[in-house]
Amino acid sequence: MGGRIAVLVSGSGTNMQALLDDVAIAPHIAVVLSDRPGVGALERAASRDVETVVLEPSAHPDRAAYTDAVRDALLERSVDTVVLAGYMRVLGSSFFEAFPNRVLNVHPALLPSFPGAHAVADALAWGVKVTGVTVHLVDEQVDHGPVVLQEAIEVCDDDDRDALEARVHAVEHRLLPAAVRALLEGRLVVEGRTVRITEGEPSP
């Protein structure tokens, strides 16, 4: 299983922690990059002796310049696989051209339902009976790329945001490492919007 992973973060880093705790994935994490200084994810990474980088959008004139700065920081470190783990910035096309079908994101809803930054609250407000978690390949549009894994979660009548979010996080922490392992092992087959995960021996 090969690959050098960059994990992009904006907050506390619980999904990144799930990757660090996975013995098959952790050795491949080369760098953790944040758009904000002082967040918990950076402390978690530093505690595991993983290199950390902070690139703040305000230091760049526009989104294109920021996108190029993030891309270049990863390419300088020979990164070939990117995981967005609570990263709250939208990057431009030059980033995805550099890592084609090698960028994964985890989203706390069953896409295409409830895209955006408030998916758990949006699901509760809509009154749905089922929500879930999606891991998908990332393209230029927000929460849009091909779905790799999904798992449904029942919404209980007495759920508030904290209760539902806790169950969502538990699923995220299982699904994201599973998708990352499959990508590292060359077991993702992408055909248009359809992604299959093959079984058996990894690709060479």
Averaged pLDDT, 89-97 = 92
Going 110 to 116 to 117 to 118, the CA torsion angle's sign is negative
Q: Where are the domains of the chain?
A: 1-100, 105-204
Residue 14 has pLDDT above 50, yes or no: yes
Place of tokens 């009548």: 157
Structure-token pair, residue 57: 């959008």
Averaged pLDDT, 4-19 = 96
CATH number of 105-204: 3.40.50.170
CATH 3.40.220.10 fits 1-100, yes or no: no
**Tens-place pLDDT, residues 163-186:** 999 999 999 999 999 999 999 999
Averaged pLDDT, 48-69 = 95
Domains 1-100 and 105-204 share a fold: yes
Residue 144 is among the residues annotated as catalytic for this protein: no
Active-site residue, from 28, 107, 136, 173: 107
- What is the pLDDT, as a whole number, of residue 170? 97
Share of the chain above pLDDT 90, in %: 90
Query: What is the number of residues in the chain?
Result: 204
What mean pLDDT value characterizes the chain? Answer: 93
